[in-house]
Amino acid sequence: MGRAPIEGGPQTPLGVLGAGVWGTALAVVMARSGHRVMLWGSDEARMARLAHERAHTAALPGIRFPDNLEIESDLQRVCRTASGLMLAVPSGGFRTILRAIVPLCDDTTILAWATKGLESGTHKRLSEIHAEVRPGRPAALLTGPTFAREVAAGLPAAMTVASHDVRTAEIVASWIRSERLRVYTSDDVIGAEIGGAVKNVLAIAAGISDGLGFGANARAALITRGLAELLRLGAAVGGRPETLIGLSGVGDLVLTCTDDLSRNRRVGLALAAERSLGDILGELGQAVEGVASAREVYALAREHHVDMPIIEQVYQVLFAGRSPQAAVTALLNRDPRTEADIPGATP
């Protein structure tokens, strides 16, 4: 092997692992930017269908695959060929896929992920998992307020690539940057990951609020107080406030809390209609990161003694049988306090 580190040029062979909605949308964007892209999925029959149709018609209607986007079900071939890999798999499968590709990849391969969440049972950030499985190797994460359909359709958007290494962040940004997709870079990996995990849980809360008919005032208050919780947890684990008030924090929070393209928000809407969680997830048929993240964010907050009442109530609704109405009552009946309870604020 022994490939030189990539520079992100237009002929760079890149792989996207995970042929769901988001992975497919990213593969389309990367191919449109001029890269040779291989989109990998584990279901051979499904990948054969994508290759035949040259489109993901169910999830991304009207979006045709560029000619330089290849469909691949051979993981070894993708890893041996690509100089850079983008993982777009659910957080629950992140460690597994990482372990699978490590023996197949060159040490210089840059690995990035567009997954948001914490590891189930350990509440570890994905960068922590990467450091355990692939220590000292180049890595970055892609985050920010984006829906797959709009990105694939070429609508304007902005994202952030975070890495401990500035050069790595810039290389990954070059994979997807275009006239319609503005990509910023950051070295605050912790802040970017915490923002991406917590916002999904808060989107469930926003869906519950709207589903109960509480209106725009309540939604605005929930988003604002949710941001306060996000800032408190971010500060406790080492994230920077400027990251959390940027695209990977506020930007993603506003998007997922206010638009029904968000699966997490739709879970909240359905919970407010007194539907069971099992039925909701079965109907959606896709990973809903906020459900798993609710348990892990709640555990992480308790571990660091961080007050996150909205997160706690979402956890109680999802996993402890509390009704959405009772959760709202518990939030409204909390003891009065000053608003300035976020890191850096002056009481």
Alpha-carbon dihedral 181, 182, 187, 191, rounded to 10 degrees? -70
**276 closest CA partner among 318, 316, 311:** 318
d(CA 211, CA 3): 53
**114 closest CA partner among 82, 139, 81:** 139
User: Hey, how many other C-beta atoms are within 10 angstroms of the C-beta on 66?
Assistant: 17
Upper half-sphere CA count for residue 228 (Cβ side, 13 Å):
15
For residue 65 the two structure tokens come to: 């695959």
The residues annotated as belonging to the active site are: 199
In three-state form (DSSP H/G/I as H, E/B as E, the rest C), the secondary structure along 48-59 is: HHHHHHCECCCC
The region that residue 238 occupies, defined by phi over 0 for left and psi between -120 and 50 for alpha, beta otherwise, is left
In three-state form (DSSP H/G/I as H, E/B as E, the rest C), the secondary structure along 122-149 is: CCCEHHHHHHHHCCCCCEEEEECCCCHH
Q: Contact, 191 vs 249, CB < 8 A?
A: yes
Residue type, 124: K
**321 CB burial (10 A radius; 0-12, 13-18, 19+):** exposed
d(CA 94, CA 324): 31
d(CA 15, CA 335): 51
Q: Please give the C-alpha separations between residue 314 and each of 44, 120, 220, 235, in angstroms, as whole numbers.
A: 37, 17, 17, 21
